Structure formats: structure tokens, C-alpha cells
Chains A and B, each alone.
Chain A
Amino acid sequence: MTITEKILASHAGGDVVKPGDLINIRLDLILANDVTAPIAIEKFREIGVERVFDKNKIVLVPDHYAPNKDIESARQCKVMRDFAREQDLTNYFEVGRMGIEHALLPEQGLVLPGDAVIGADSHTCTYGALGAFSTGAGSTDVGAAMATGEVWLKVPSTIKFVYKGKLNKWVGGKDLILYTIGKIGVDGALYKAMEFCGEAIQRLSMDGRFTMCNMAIEAGAKSGIMAVDETTLNYVKGRAKRPYEVYASDPDASYENVIEFDVLNIESQVAFPHLPSNTRGISEVGDIPIDQVVIGSCTNGRLEDLRVAAEMLKGRKIHPSLRLIIIPATQEIYRLALKRGFTETFVEAGAVVSTPTCGPCLGGHMGVLAEGERALTTTNRNFVGRMGHPESEVYLCGPAVAAASAVLGKIASPEEVVGSGE
């Protein structure tokens, strides 16, 4: 069996599952945010049970429109906060102690290898980087799961992606996943699990791995997953507060398809409007001036992303024609960015540094676009109207290209800023 099938089998109370089986699984963690929790809570109440199935296994995070952007969003956050208090939930994270959910949960050691997790947010697939099964669901699924601790699922078949060789300088997890989505399309892995492996993945940091699994949904996948190795165990060490189990794919596991890439051929990627699959290598981009750059989100707001941006921006100024918005994904990342001097570099360069929030990624607040404006961003979606006005444009990239472009005022490769010698 594959790692995904093994985790699902163990959570379904059996030894074996196969792709296509409809199963009920026991959940280790259930997540919702300020946009999806209010509906989930309403659904939970409709079921008519008094208490959630386990107050330690439900995580609520106000991150999308928090800090509250207006009265309506303040009400949504309040519904969630009141529910967390009523149910005495262990894992409610208040503004000032929170972070963007998919950066926060692994950081806090709430998701561990071998877990089965659902979240009322499509990017819940992020935790596959820890060797866990995790997938996005709707509010109704989460409302029901808060009552029962279970969810129904169809066991997905798995596509194996093998990344051979060593990554080029400035090429990271975001470039690999954009390249992959560009090759297979936005429904290239529809209903399936994407298992990422190979030398380039083994060499990738945890932050880069989270970025890749985060965007599995952008290929239509149910989940993304990676094997647990030294890097994973080092990350989990000191964070885990409960035992966990490590699963691995059998050598003779059955895959729907195996796709191999030689990463030496992969350069920094940019996804053009209006689909994440509309990718081009940075050398093919041409002259595209931009109005706004965003570095942040559950995809690329982690410490490594900020370190790369700081490296690029150190001693440089942001181009006068644009604004750069940098959003550390959690309070802990925010604190470390201060401590390591990244924040000072950003402010000296002329950037805005925000408190953690999903904010502009979904056109919520903190950097919404007007008609005709064009943004380059490390976020995950470039659909029509995603960051604001339906006649605005969003281009997706990794942190190195984002920061380089902020310096040059147009979409640019990191080499254009720091030279190819570095």
C-alpha cells in the first residue's frame, strides 16, 4: 500500500484499503477558520449534540479577515471565539497569538506524522509534508466531524512525482509545485493523492515541503504527501506533545501513474493570470511591470521565505513604482524575523510588514487591488478577482522572484538583482 492508503486504513479501523473504497475515518484533528467556522458551528448545532467529540482535537483560528476588517468579519470571529469558550476548546488561537492556520498548526506541533486531518479550508492539504493525511473539506463536513470525530472519504489513488537531481540556485518548493501544476493542469490530480519524492524533495527544507503540499489542491488533488525522514523528525522533535506513528509506502505499492522530473531543467516559475497552471519559466516571462508584490500566505509566509526575501532586499530599495507587502505567517515567524533582522531590512527597503493574516491572498484586506492593477505574489491562486477587482491581475511566484521583482519594478529573476555569481 501507499503511505496514504496505510494512514487511511489505520484510521478506518482495518488493515487494508484500496483506491475507490468509501470509508469512514477517525480524525486526529479538525480545523476551521473565521470564514468557515461560523457555518460549521451552525451545522454542529443542527445535529443537536451538546458537546464536541473531543475538546483537544478541534482547532479554530481567526486568520482570514482577522484582525477584524469590518463589523461583519468581527461578528464572524466572535461567533467562533464564543463557541471556543463555550466548548472549552484547547486550541483556539487569538489574534496576537495566532498565525495563518496552515503555518500555525505544524509549528505548534498539533499535526504529526501519521495523523488524519480535515479542515474547512482547501489548503489543509499542507500537512502532508509531515507524512500525515490531510485534506480540505467544507463547513458541513467539519460541523459533523466536530460532533462525531469522523468523516466519510473515498480512498484516493496516488500519483507519484519523482524529482531527480539537485535544485538550481533560487529555485525552491514553490517553483517545483508551480512547474508540476503547469505540466498536469488544475485538474491533473483531481480526487487523487500526490506523493512527492526523489532526491530534490529529500534535500528540501520543511518550509519548502509545506509549500509543495499546500498547493496540491491547485492540481485538484485530495492530498499531497511526503515520506517522513530526518528533516521531518527534526522538525517534529520538541513540538510533538503526543505519540505519533510513521508510515511509509511499500516498495511494491501500486500507483496510478509515476511522473519523473529532472529538476536541473527547472528554473524559477511564474504562473500567469488566471490559473495556477498557466506557468512559464522566468526566462520566458518578458517585460511585465507590476504595481504590488505580496510575500506571505499559508503557501510562502514561513521563515525561509522571509530569509530569502531579506537576502534579496538587504541594502536595496523597493522600486518607486510599486508597494511591497510582507506578511509573516505566524507570530513566531514574526518574532524570529525581528530577531534575525529581516524586518529591519524590509522596512529599510520600503516594505510594509503586516501582522499575520490571509489578508490580500483572497482579496480580503491589507492590499486589495483596483481595476487594471497587477500583483506578483507568493500566494496560491490567481483566479479572476482573487486579490480584488475582477479586472486586476495576479501572477504567482516564489519568494526570490517576488523580492527581486519588488526591487526592479517588473517581474524579474533573482540573478538580475544579485548577479549569477552569488
Chain B
Amino acid sequence: MVYQGRAHKYGRDVDTDVIIPARYLTTSDPDQLAGHCLEDLDPDFASRVKLGDILIAEENFGCGSSREHAPMAIKGAGVSCVIAKSFARIFYRNAINMGLPIFECPEAVDGIAAGDEVRVDTEKGEITNLTRGVVFKITPFPPFIQKIIERGGLINYVRAKLKAEG
């Protein structure tokens, strides 16, 4: 897969309460959630973000609550993938399970500034900062997680597994 878009960059410990504040958790409609994505951290984000854009963050992205509304809001906002130095573990699971591509790559985070044009090529295992002409290597996911991603998320994976088991 190839993802390409403009970078939006944030700091460390971006928590799920700022990704999607709890006052909007009375719905699980991705379009409604998308309109409030990152509202308490960057109020203009939802109006500024364009289809395919890429989120860049420092350590511990998605810490806090288990709300799947957080990756849903990000995906719903049109973000193609998230690159961070590290992810909080429940956010990591949720993103994999629902098919929001995420990449742990500290070098890329340091080498990308807000507004840079970024391209991620999962087959080549590369993140390219097109604005600055720099390439970063992605560490591949463990094979088991790769299988879930290839199936398009956990539900498809489980459905196929149950079918195979009869």
C-alpha cells in the first residue's frame, strides 16, 4: 500500500480525550466523530485536514481511554496513516483491528515537519519525506499482526478463521 499526504505534527502523549472528547461519545458515527477530531488539541484540524493527510506524533500517541471512537475519528477525518515514535497499547490494537495504518518510526518523526509532503510505501518498507528528499526505513509488523492487517482488520480475520474451522 502507498499512502501520501501532508503532515500534521503533534507532540508526545496525545491522549484519546483530545483526539475525540468524551462529550461526543454518544455517537459512533465516523462522520460525526470526524468533525470533532483533535478538537481540544488543534481546534482547526477538522477543517484543515485533507483526504490522505498523515498524522505525525512523538511518543505515546493515543494514551488514555480504550475508546475506538479515537481511531474512527482519525480515519473518518480522511487521515491515511499515523506515524509516531510510539503508540499507547490499546490505541495500537484498535488501529490494527479496525484497519487504520500506523507506523512506529522515531527517525521519520524527527525528520518530518508540519506541512511536509510524506509518502509511505509499505511494500518497500519506506517512509519518504518528499519535501526534503529523505527516506526512512519501516520496521515490519510481526507476521501474525501482518495477517490481520492483510485481512483488513480483526473482524475479517476472525470471520475467515471461524469459516476455516467450520
Contact = CB atoms under 8 A, between A and B. Distances in A.
Interface in A42-74: 42-43, 46-49, 64-65, 69-70, 72-73
A217 B28 CA distance: 24
B67 interface: yes
Given A49-B162, A138-B93, A381-B17, A120 B144 contact: no
Contacts of A299: none
Interface in A331-386: 362-364, 368, 381, 383-386
B139 interface: no
Nearest to B23: A363
Interface string A236-259: 000000000000000000000000
Given A35-B25, A47-B159, A49-B162, A362 B89 contact: no
Contacts of A138: 66-68, 90, 93-94, 97-98
Contacts of B77: none
A103 to B, nearest CB: 17
A384 B40 contact: yes
A65 B27 CA distance: 12
A47 B155 contact: yes
Contact of A222 (B18, B25, B67, B89): B89
Given A137-B90, A220-B88, A222-B89, A121 B66 contact: yes
B142 interface: yes
Contacts of B108: none
A364 B67 CA distance: 14
Interface in A106-162: 119-122, 124, 136-141, 143-144, 147-148, 152
Interface stretch (B56-64, B110-118, B128-136): B56-64
A383 B17 CA distance: 7
Contacts of A35: 25, 67, 69
A48 B66 CA distance: 24
Interface string A4-43: 0000000000000000001000000000000110110011
A363 B18 CA distance: 12
Contacts of B90: 122, 136-138, 217
A383 B18 contact: yes
A140 B153 contact: yes
Contacts of B86: 187, 190
Nearest to A191: B89
A320 interface: no
A186 interface: yes
B155 A383 contact: no
Contacts of A385: 17-18, 21, 40
Q: Which of A38, A187, A368, A388 has the most CB of B within 10 A?
A: A187
Contacts of B40: 384-385, 390
Interface residues of B, number: 42
A120 B97 CA distance: 13
A136 B66 contact: yes
A46 B99 CA distance: 15
A285 to B, nearest CB: 22
B154 A187 contact: no
B63 A220 contact: yes
Contacts of B27: 72
Interface string B91-115: 0011001100000000000000000
A262 B144 CA distance: 42
B47 interface: no
B51 interface: no
Interface of A: 22, 35-36, 38-39, 42-43, 46-49, 64-65, 69-70, 72-73, 76, 119-122, 124, 136-141, 143-144, 147-148, 152, 186-187, 190-191, 217, 220, 222, 275, 362-364, 368, 381, 383-386, 388, 390
Interface of B: 13, 15, 17-18, 21-23, 25-28, 39-41, 59-60, 63-69, 86, 88-90, 93-94, 97-98, 142, 144-145, 148, 153-155, 158-159, 161-162
19 contacts: A22-B145, A35-B25, A36-B66, A39-B28, A39-B69, A65-B26, A122-B65, A122-B66, A136-B90, A138-B66, A140-B94, A148-B158, A190-B88, A275-B13, A362-B22, A364-B22, A364-B25, A383-B17, A384-B40
